[in-house]
Structure 1
Amino acid sequence: MSKRATLAVLLPTLALSVMGCSGEDGGKDDGGGADPAERLSAARTVLDDAASIELDLATKALPSGITGLLDAKGTGTHAPAFDGAVTVSLKGVPVKADVISVDGTVYAKTGFAPDFLPLDPASIGAPDPAALMTADGGISALLEETDDLKDDGESRDGRDVLTTITGTISGEDVRALIPTAQADATFDATYRLTDDDVLRDVTLDGLFYDSDEAVVYTIAVTASDDDVEITAP
């Protein structure tokens, strides 16, 4: 076969190969992966099916003079119930307490009192930590109440590669989680998911208190199959 004939055969094949490669790359660049809403829905299912959830919620700072929640760390169930510790800022003064929330009642024990005593969390600008665990209105519900979803790509967290998904949530939906959030505000949400669509953490940025200064809360969660029994003190 002549060189000219050989080229006539090879060139169309080469062109098809290049077009095929371009199509694959274009699919990836155009967001050819799983839909962000579907991934968040799958992540919600993992949380809702968990027997218990380890929670670590924190903010670096609150607006000056605000009474509110600085951090909460512990174990919760869908009862809903929670057993852990929280730190609240009482007009700038941090106060730590052991907290148990069960059957709709929050009990707190601080360094000022030797026993657990009933507490209205709204009086210190904090949510009932057990409310964070409910399937209807808790952390998991936020995943399907988020609008304007966008896949922001991957990043490394230690050995893990996580996908970041961003969006916005209405203040009314955030209030179900943290009641002091401004109802007419819009909150920015950033979720980080594993390849298996397991939620690593969510960051919420917005007007959580009666202040024009935004607050950023990061909520890390770990779903577990371990059954945990939480009872009133």
Structure 2
Amino acid sequence: MRGRRLVTAAVTLLLGAGVLAGCGGDDGEDGGESAADLLTRAKTTLDAAPSLAFELSSEGAPDSGQAVLGGRGSIARPSSFDGTLQVQSVAGTFDLDVVSIDGTVYAQLPFAQTFSVVDPATLGFGDPGALIDPDTGISQLLTAAEDPQLGGESRVNGEVVREVTADVPGELIDQLLTTADADAPVQAVLSVVADSGQLRRVQMTGPFFEAGTDATYTIELTDYGSDVTITAPPTG
């Protein structure tokens, strides 16, 4: 009987330890940095960067309709962008040279010889210069992430990153990129370089182009603090 009581006590202690360990869920391994803490550090690092390189790609877009399919360029504070956006419209798919400075957006439209001041909403995208703004840009994804959970390590272009999975409100995605259903949350995998705290990749899955049909947007950020000068282009 005494031996049985000892075994029962040992099992109870082990089960109790397991329950306590399970409650720690998002506290990180061995009490280390949690998913929420890692995302907070990544936001601080991103918001402190004077400039960075930006690349956007997509999968699952329909063959017709108006949409931004991808793009790349440089973003500099406080609100400047210089790069190319791949835009799909009823007239076809075009790579548009785009410059944004302090809320004024310039684009070299298809078959045009010079830049024009445009309303980006008419072309299916928002102001790309706002992507670096702490209040309206990419770093919002880090603080708006719901129920963040630490994932495993992976590599982005050969660099070791730590993944965090979370849901992001569809309303925010509608403001930042686009979505066909702002009420539907978007599933996100955020990849952060643990040593530097740099957000390297955000992969998002949700109804971006058609309600009820998932597609994927991927944002990659590199060259934090690179020497970037963006000036307004001449217009015709």
Deviation at 1:219, TM superposition (A): 0.3
Structure 2 counterpart of 1:65, one-letter code: S
Q: Does structure 2 conserve the Cα–Cα contact (< 8 Å) formed by 1:148 and 1:168? A: yes
Q: Does structure 1 conserve the Cα–Cα contact (< 8 Å) formed by 2:173 and 2:179? A: no
- Partner residue in 2 for 1:195: 194
> Could you tell me how far apart the structure 2 residues matched to 1:50 and 1:139 are?
12
Q: Does structure 2 conserve the Cα–Cα contact (< 8 Å) formed by 1:71 and 1:88? A: yes
Deviations 1:206-225 (A, max 9, x none): 12235432221100002522
- Partner residue in 2 for 1:95: 94
- Partner residue in 2 for 1:42: 41
Q: Does structure 2 conserve the Cα–Cα contact (< 8 Å) formed by 1:47 and 1:223? A: no
Count of residues paired in the alignment: 211
Distance 1:157 1:201, change over 3 A: closer
Structure 1 counterpart of 2:185, one-letter code: T
Deviation at 1:31, TM superposition (A): 3.5
Deviation at 1:228, TM superposition (A): 2.5
Structure 1 counterpart of 2:221, one-letter code: V
Deviation at 1:160, TM superposition (A): 2.8
Q: Does structure 2 conserve the Cα–Cα contact (< 8 Å) formed by 1:167 and 1:190? A: yes
- Partner residue in 2 for 1:132: 131
Distance 1:158 1:99, change over 3 A: closer
Deviation at 1:119, TM superposition (A): 1.6
Largest Rg, 1 or 2 = 1
> Could you tell me how far apart the structure 2 residues matched to 1:208 and 1:188 are?
12
Structure 1 counterpart of 2:209, one-letter code: Y
Distance 1:90 1:43, change over 3 A: same
Provide the TM-score with structure 1 as the length reference: 0.81
> Could you tell me how far apart the structure 2 residues matched to 1:87 and 1:149 are?
31
- Partner residue in 1 for 2:228: 228
Q: Secondary structure at the match of 1:214?
A: strand
- Partner residue in 1 for 2:6: none
Q: Secondary structure at the match of 2:147?
A: strand
Provide the TM-score with structure 2 as the length reference: 0.80
Deviation at 1:100, TM superposition (A): 0.2
- Partner residue in 2 for 1:68: 67
Deviation at 1:92, TM superposition (A): 7.9
Gaps of 5+ in 1: 1-18
- Partner residue in 1 for 2:214: 214
Does 1:58 find its partner at 2:57? Answer: yes
> Could you tell me how far apart the structure 2 residues matched to 1:156 and 1:180 are?
28
Kindly report structure 1 stretches of 4+ aligned residues shifted beyond 6 Å: 26-30
Q: Does structure 2 conserve the Cα–Cα contact (< 8 Å) formed by 1:65 and 1:91? A: yes
Deviation at 1:227, TM superposition (A): 4.3
> Could you tell me how far apart the structure 1 residues matched to 2:52 and 2:79 are?
11
Structure 2 counterpart of 1:229, one-letter code: T
Gaps of 5+ in 2: 1-13
Distance 1:115 1:44, change over 3 A: same
Deviation at 1:62, TM superposition (A): 1.1
Instruction: Compute the RMSD of aligned alpha carbons.
Output: 2.6
Q: Does structure 2 conserve the Cα–Cα contact (< 8 Å) formed by 1:182 and 1:207? A: yes
